[in-house]
Amino acid sequence: MTAFVSPPLGTTANGTTADGSSATGASADGIWHGLQLAEGLAVADAAMAPTARASIVVQQGQIRWVGPDAAVPPAWQHLPHRQGAGALATPGLVDCHTHLVYGGQRANEFAMRLAGATYEEVAQAGGGIVSSVKATSAATEDELFAQAAPRLQALLAEGVCAIEIKSGYGLALEHERKQLRVARRLGEVFGVTVRTTFLGAHALPPEYAGRSQDYIDLVCNDMLPALAAEGLVDAVDVFCERIAFTLSETEQVFQTAQWLGIPVKLHAEQLSDMGGAVLAARYGALSCDHIEHLSAEGIAAMKAAGTVAVLLPGAYYTLRDTHLPPIQALRDAGVPMAVSTDHNPGTSPALSLLLMANMACTLFRLTVPESLAGVTTHAARALGLQDSHGLIASGRPANFVLWPVAAAAELAYWFGHKPPCTIVRQGRVYGDAA
Ligand code: NIG
Ligand code: FE
């Protein structure tokens, strides 16, 4: 690996200030010279020879110009010059499916599964999502923040510049609210784009056993409208599955979301083909996620609706699933494929998006360019952020990562190791290259 720009003073290895409470990197304004641009993930403003070194101009937190080193317009020459030493520039990573805010952890279930229990059996035995609901309901907002912050920091340290955070471990108005408020606060404190997703229909609270229609009515008539009115909901999701909610219950939630003008997404066809993708596509869903059991009809509907397929290899791995998502059919149909951590305490306690890129290649046979587009461009689309994130291009907020690697494949190749990198997030510099 080549040497690279030293870390900005005042930041620590995980990209936060010394007291760990917030992230206030130095301004990234300047001309970042001598870069390689990751293929397909940057748009140059001037013709670039394939081997030419590139510059990215940042001013007032925005990318102003991208192109060959030799062609930086004179208008920007007064800005500070920063040497990139041949680093590879990618857009800031986007983690488009996480359940990052929750109380406690579920290592006991890991042990149960090692002893032979399936995910569905664990859930039926009162474990699973419902056990995280207990711990989340018992925690204060400050406690949830304190527990989620180091998880977020781990993702940020790897170059994540936008992240989706779902509720769904509250399952009651006040506790869902707590989760979403903590998600918003994480975005403010750490200076990272956070998209909140209301997942009130994640599991049936035990007190509603046998009354799932009553719970869905509560979600649609009370919880979602109240939280939307508080500005806490950027998207709405449902866990549509045998162990969760039916297709018609899912549709009721989607109708409410549509009426409120909020985009939808879906935990679809993870354990069985419920027909969720076809339904979600009818509601113009941003994404269908998991999709191991996605049908040909679902793929065609997603293509027609512009819905992103979100692949979650961490959950596939943890559950020792063997039913692969239909990657070749998605590829043939031209459905954009995103890759995400699905960070959650049950099925994917993963805190490395690059590891997910690696696993998407190794387990799902994505190509390297597909996996890198999956954690950037397509992930941004899965959050409705395609005009501001996931691509290095002028006119966008400055979110990019500089990696001291010789080839883009290294980002998906190494695992169990966080590569040193310099991160520009919301126009501020964080770094740990040494
Ligand atoms: O995305 N599938 C549903 N939700 C999560 C799991 C949540 C949990 O087990 O706590 C997922 O895998
Ligand atoms: Fe999930």
* pLDDT tens string 206-225: 999 999 999 999 999 999 99
What is the distance in A from the centroid of ligand 1 to the CA of 63?
36
In the chain, which stretches have pLDDT less than 50?
Answer: 1-22, 433-434
Q: Give the atom of ligand 1 at the shortest distance from the alpha carbon of 132.
A: 10
Q: Which residue in 145, 47, 92, 104 sits closest to 345, CA to CA?
A: 104
Single-letter amino acid code for the residue at 9: L
378 Cβ closer than 6 Å to some ligand 1 atom = no
Atom of ligand 1 nearest to the CA of 106: 10
Q: Ligand 2 centre from 39 Cα, in Å?
A: 30
Distance 5 CA to ligand 2 centre (A): 37
Are 253 and 236 a contacting pair, CB within 8 Å?
yes
Number of H helices, E strands in the chain: 16, 17
Residue (of 155, 150, 142) closest to 181 by Cα position: 142
Across 282-356, where does the E strand assignment appear? 287-290, 308-311, 337-339
Angle at which helices 129-138 and 173-190 pack, to 10 degrees? 80
Ligand in nearest proximity to the CA of 269:
1
Do the Cβ atoms of 202 and 169 come closer than 8 Å?
Answer: yes
pLDDT for the residue numbered 243: 87
Q: Which residues pair with 58 in a beta bridge?
A: 30, 63
Interval between CA 267 and ligand 2 midpoint (Å): 6
CA nearest neighbour of 330 among 279, 289, 383, 390: 289
Starting from the CA of residue 120, give the closest ligand: 1
Cβ of 342 below 6 Å from ligand 1: yes
User: Which pLDDT score, from 0 to 100, does residue 432 have?
Assistant: 62
Cα of 129 to ligand 1 centre, how many Å? 7
Distance in Å, CA 346 to ligand 2 centroid? 10
Which atom of ligand 1 is closest in space to residue 241's alpha carbon? 2
Give distance in angstroms: CA of 18 to centre of ligand 1: 33
- pLDDT (0 to 100) of residue 21: 37
- Could you tell me if 362 and 377 are in contact, meaning their C-beta atoms sit under 8 angstroms apart? no
Q: Is 347 touching ligand 1 by the criterion CB < 6 Å?
A: yes
Query: Can you name the residues that pair with 422 across neighbouring β-strands?
Result: 402, 431
Any atom of ligand 1 within 6 Å of the Cβ of 132 = yes
Q: Which atom of ligand 1 is nearest to the CA of 346?
A: 9
What CA–CA distance (Å, rounded) separates 339 from 314? 10
315 CB near ligand 1 (under 6 Å) = yes
**Residue spans of alpha helices (H) in 230-319:** 247-260, 276-282, 296-305, 313-318
Written as one letter, the residue type at 159 is: G
Give the whole-angstrom CA distance, residue 367 versus residue 333: 16
Answer whether 371's CB lies under 8 Å from 339's CB: yes
Task: Report pTM.
Answer: 0.94
Angle between helix 141-156 and 173-190 (nearest 10): 40
| CB of 344 sitting under 6 A from ligand 1 | yes
Verify whether ligand 1 is closer than 6 Å to residue 346 (CB atom): yes
Kindly give the number of the ligand 1 atom that is closest to the alpha carbon of 123. Answer: 9
* Calpha distance 92→38 (Å, rounded): 12
- Cβ atoms within 10 A of the Cβ of 6, count? 11
**Nearest C-alpha neighbor of 160 from the set 415, 413, 424, 427:** 424
- Give residue 347 CA to ligand 1 midpoint distance, Å: 6
* pLDDT at residue number 54: 98
Q: How far is the CA of 237 from the centre of ligand 1 (A)?
A: 12
CB 371 within 8 A of CB 412: yes
pLDDT of 25 reads 86
Closest approach atom of ligand 1 to CA 342: 1
Hunting for tokens 């403003």 — which residue is that? 45
119 lines ligand 1 (CB under 6 A): no
221-224 long-range contacts (CB < 8 A, ≥24 apart) are 222/173, 223/172, 223/173, 223/176, 223/198, 224/198, 224/200, 224/253, 224/256, 224/257, 224/260
